[in-house]
């Protein structure tokens, strides 16, 4: 059962939406896409006389938001006339029909399944980044192992011969 409070609430909502639509119309009809001076304040005052308390900011935001299309609402589809595309004596496509026609085979109503398999996927194959990281770490370990082996063999051979190693030998090995 509808009470007087419910009816009063619906009347207030209708009045608020009507005022917002008037402000939007004024904004769209102006040359600089702005509201006339004092229009927002007058609208707030007129709503206040009817018992609706709203701030200038809130009313302005409602007007701005009503100008932006809502992406969650479905768009209205315009009616489409039937378009038939023929190639020679065969029918290639009908725009109004929900199924696709295969130009290779006249009695098949579905699309060609081999077309999707022929198109390569974009990007790297799955797992190649991890494989490359493993290969790089293995090469780094082998490089470090070869540098330490070469340096240690030359260091021990020079110690046995009572010689000094050449200055910058380790830096040369690293580079």
In-domain check, residue 76: no
Mean pLDDT of 103-121: 55
Whether residue 136 sits in one domain with residue 107: no
Each residue's pLDDT tens digit, 146-174: 999 999 999 999 999 999 989 999 999 88
The least confident of 47-56, 80-89, 107-116, 126-135 is 107-116
What total of structural domains would you count in the chain?
3
Q: How far apart are the first and last CA of the chain?
A: 88
- Is the CB of residue 11 less than 8 Å from the CB of residue 57? no
93's tokens = 């496509």
Query: DSSP string spanning 100-142?
Result: PPPTT-TT--SPPTHHHHHSPPSSPPTTHHHHHHHHHHHHHHH
Whether residue 108 sits in one domain with residue 132: no
Predicted TM-score (pTM) of the model is: 0.40
Whether residue 10 sits in one domain with residue 62: yes
Whether residue 164 sits in one domain with residue 141: yes
Residue 160, classed as helix, strand or coil, is helix
Whether residue 12 sits in one domain with residue 60: yes
Per-residue pLDDT, 66: 81
Whether residue 49 sits in one domain with residue 11: yes
Q: How far is CA 64 from CA 12, 35, 38, 60, in A?
A: 20, 11, 16, 6
The total number of residues shown for the chain amounts to 175
In-domain check, residue 55: yes
Cβ count near 164 (within 10 Å):
9
Residue 109's domain comprises 84-118
Whether residue 110 sits in one domain with residue 55: no
């Amino acid at each position: 059962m509808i009470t007087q409070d419910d009816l009063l609430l619906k009347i207030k909502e209708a009045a608020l939406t009507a005022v917002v639509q008037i402000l939007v119309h004024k904004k769209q009809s102006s040359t600089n896409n702005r509201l006339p001076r004092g229009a927002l304040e007058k609208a707030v005052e007129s709503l206040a006389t009817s018992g609706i308390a709203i701030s200038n900011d809130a009313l302005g935001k409602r007007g701005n938001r009503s100008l932006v299309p809502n992406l969650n609402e479905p768009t209205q589809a315009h009616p489409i006339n039937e378009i038939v595309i023929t190639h020679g004596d065969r029918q290639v496509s009908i725009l109004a029909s929900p199924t696709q026609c295969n130009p290779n085979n006249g009695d098949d109503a579905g699309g060609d399944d081999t077309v999707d398999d022929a198109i390569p996927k974009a990007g790297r194959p799955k797992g190649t980044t991890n494989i490359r990281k493993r290969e790089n770490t293995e090469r780094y370990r082998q490089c470090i192992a070869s540098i330490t082996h070469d340096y240690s063999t030359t260091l021990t051979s020079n110690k046995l011969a009572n010689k000094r190693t050449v200055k910058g030998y380790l830096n040369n090995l690293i580079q």
